């Protein structure tokens, strides 16, 4: 972009425009995954919805390339484009809770931490993801699952309305009655349809929860999965537990003898508290002699921040996902093999439950296309050292290739990683793809919003 173009864009905005010559540029373009190293021509730090409208209008009418940056957690670095203009929503951070109506208005650049902090003061919460540093924007538009999904559904199941800047720079508030097709598409269709400057969510009671971790040596992965695959779906919806293969971190609360050993286990959350979780585990028939069993009461935001220090911004990430409706003995065997071969301490595989309340929403009520899935799986090769990038990538891809035949065929859109086969977006949306492409044609016929897991406009 030349100087006069930049000046013209800057004149229309309240927030600053950062270019490669500005001191804050490198900080602004650094995202969660350190494998991503993209250099936009300019980052527009939008101060309000008016800035977003002006920026979209300017970018489109000058034929420039556009990306939208929320919390920056996308593994593929979708919030940035080399040489393009990035609309950076990070200044949009407000949350307004209406405790009487049990709703919250959440600005489009918030992280989960800000949402949880604001709502927890009222003993309320939105079901979102399991890490507080994730952006609400990308997470909610992809669907959003976490500890409260079995109890209260996906994040999109609590979405009441969204303020959206469309591809022509205009502004709408979409809900069940207004721009209802757009509202349908926003609930799972990702960032394809516009820039959401504010979300309004229904809130649910959640306060101090029971948090648990049960671990066994990784050699017992098959046995643990054979128990977990039945125990989890039968557990009350107040409880959730995601399965993981992991390396035990070298510090408290873990006893020294299991530090840095590989393990298979479950991270639990029970909205009725620690005693309810303890009783559930006692009655669950879980494998004997876990190497670690921990149950404690915890304020919900503390649970949400539990992994923040362990996996901070700036690590190398290579990931792939798939949905599962069952865990066969053959799949358990794959988990056992690749769990034992994890290449680095932070590499991991998680199976997040997406049943319970999420199953009670009609399959065509939102763009989320896997209401019949029980787990959303993610394999993450993770390490601070760039020298291990090839090793974490190879482990992740090999694991995924062996596990994929035991999956439902598609993955959660927010778990599509780098260098994935071209058909992955269609596999994510299954029978909803054609309707999404039609909504895309109506709202973004020129595919202005293409820096995402892209749905091409219907022709
Ligand atoms: P960004 O990289 O900023 O954006 C991702 C995409 O969303 C881009 O296409 C961007 O253009 C678009 N976008 C973002 N905000 C907006 C907006 N306001 N309007 C329009 N488009 C927008 N997901 C879960 O559901 N549950 C989890 O528990 C979970 N855990 C995670 C843990 C880690 C460590 C990581 C890295 C990711 C996790 N995710 C989880 C995946 C997460 O939902 C996605 O990475 C999501 O894209 C993050 O959103 P973001 O705004 O931070 O990302």
Q: What residue segments make up the domains of the chain, in order of their start?
A: 3-88, 95-205+433-443, 208-415
Distance CA 442, CA 182 (A): 9
Residue nearest to atom 37 of ligand 1 (CA): 73
Please check whether residue 366 is in contact with residue 185, taking contact to mean a CB–CB distance below 8 angstroms. Answer: no
Task: From the CA of 70, give the closest atom in ligand 1.
Answer: 3
Nearest alpha carbon to residue 218 among 243, 255, 235: 243
Q: Report the share of the chain in percent with pLDDT over 70.
A: 100
Q: How far does the centroid of ligand 1 lie from the alpha carbon of residue 53, in Å? A: 22
Within a 10 A sphere around the Cβ of 382, how many other Cβ atoms? 22
Residue 383 three-state SS: strand
Ligand 1 contact, 141 CB (< 6 A): yes
pLDDT score of 351 more than 90: yes
Mean pLDDT of 373-384: 98
Q: What is the DSSP letter of 413?
A: G
Tell me the fold of 3-88.
3.30.43
The CATH number assigned to the domain with range 208-415 reads 3.40.462.20
Q: How far does the centroid of ligand 1 lie from the alpha carbon of residue 254, in Å? A: 30
Instruction: Please state which of the four CATH numbers 1.10.10.10, 3.40.50.300, 3.30.465.10, 3.30.1360.30 is assigned to the domain occupying 95-205+433-443.
Output: 3.30.465.10
Distance CA 244, CA 265 (A): 5
Specify the pairing of strand 42-45 against strand 85-88: parallel
pTM above 0.85, yes or no: yes
Ligand 1 contact, 70 CB (< 6 A): yes
Helices (H) and strands (E) in the chain, counts: 14, 18
**Residue carrying the six token digits 């039945």:** 230
Distances (CA, A) of 88 to 5, 161, 198, 347: 18, 22, 14, 29
pLDDT score of 440 more than 80: yes
For the four alpha carbons of 395, 401, 406 and 409, in that order, the dihedral sign comes to positive
Distance CA 219, CA 416 (A): 29
For the four alpha carbons of 397, 401, 402 and 404, in that order, the dihedral sign comes to positive
pLDDT score of 423 more than 80: yes
Task: From the CA of 194, give the closest atom in ligand 1.
Answer: 20
Distance CA 412, CA 170 (A): 30
Ligand 1 contact, 131 CB (< 6 A): yes
pLDDT tens-digit map of 195-222? 999 999 999 999 999 999 999 999 999 9
pLDDT tens-digit map of 109-166? 999 999 999 999 999 999 999 999 999 999 999 999 999 999 999 999 999 999 999 9
Q: At what angle do helices 329-340 and 221-234 cross, to 10 degrees?
A: 130
């Amino acid at each position: 972009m030349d100087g006069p173009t930049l000046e013209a864009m800057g004149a229309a905005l309240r927030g600053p425009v950062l270019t490669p010559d500005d001191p804050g540029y490198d900080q602004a373009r650094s995202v969660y995954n350190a494998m991503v190293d993209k250099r936009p021509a300019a980052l527009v730090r939008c101060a309000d919805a008016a800035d977003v409208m002006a920026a979209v209008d300017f970018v489109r009418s000058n034929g420039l390339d556009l990306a939208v940056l929320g919390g920056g957690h996308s593994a593929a670095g979708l919030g940035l484009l080399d040489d393009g203009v990035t609309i950076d929503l990070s200044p949009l951070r407000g949350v307004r809770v209406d405790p009487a109506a049990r709703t919250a208005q959440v600005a489009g650049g918030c992280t989960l931490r800000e949402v949880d902090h604001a709502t927890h003061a009222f003993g309320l919460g939105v079901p979102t993801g399991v890490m507080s540093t994730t952006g609400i924007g990308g997470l909610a538009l992809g669907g959003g699952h976490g500890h409260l999904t079995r109890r209260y559904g996906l994040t999109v199941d609590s979405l009441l309305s969204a303020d959206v800047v469309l591809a022509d720079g205009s502004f709408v508030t979409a809900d069940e009655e207004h721009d209802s097709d757009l509202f349908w598409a926003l609930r799972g269709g990702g960032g394809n349809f516009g820039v959401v400057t504010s979300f309004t969510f229904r809130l649910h009671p959640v306060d101090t929860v029971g948090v648990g971790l049960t671990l066994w040596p990784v050699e017992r992965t098959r046995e643990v999965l054979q128990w977990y695959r039945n125990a989890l779906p039968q557990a009350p919806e107040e409880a959730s537990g995601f399965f993981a293969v992991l390396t035990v971190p070298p510090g408290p609360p873990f006893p020294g003898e299991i530090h840095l050993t590989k393990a298979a286990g479950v991270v639990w959350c029970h909205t009725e508290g620690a005693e309810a979780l303890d009783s559930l585990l006692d009655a669950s028939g879980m494998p004997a002699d876990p190497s670690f069993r921990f149950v404690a009461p915890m304020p919900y935001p503390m649970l949400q921040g539990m992994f923040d220090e362990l996996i901070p911004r700036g690590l190398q990430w290579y990931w792939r996902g798939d949905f599962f409706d069952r865990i066969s003995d053959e799949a358990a065997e794959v988990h056992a093999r690749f769990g034992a071969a994890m290449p680095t301490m932070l590499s991991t595989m998680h199976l997040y439950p997406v049943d319970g309340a999420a199953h009670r929403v009609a399959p065509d009520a939102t763009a989320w296309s896997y209401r019949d899935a029980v787990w959303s799986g993610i394999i993450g090769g993770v390490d601070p050292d760039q020298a291990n990038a090839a090793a974490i990538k190879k482990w992740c891809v090999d694991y995924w290739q062996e596990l994929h035949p035991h999956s439902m065929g598609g993955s959660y859109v927010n778990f599509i990683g780098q260098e994935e086969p071209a058909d992955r977006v269609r596999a994510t949306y299954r029978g909803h793809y054609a309707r999404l492409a039609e909504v895309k044609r109506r709202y973004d016929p020129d595919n202005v919003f293409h820096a995402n897991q892209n749905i091409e406009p219907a022709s």
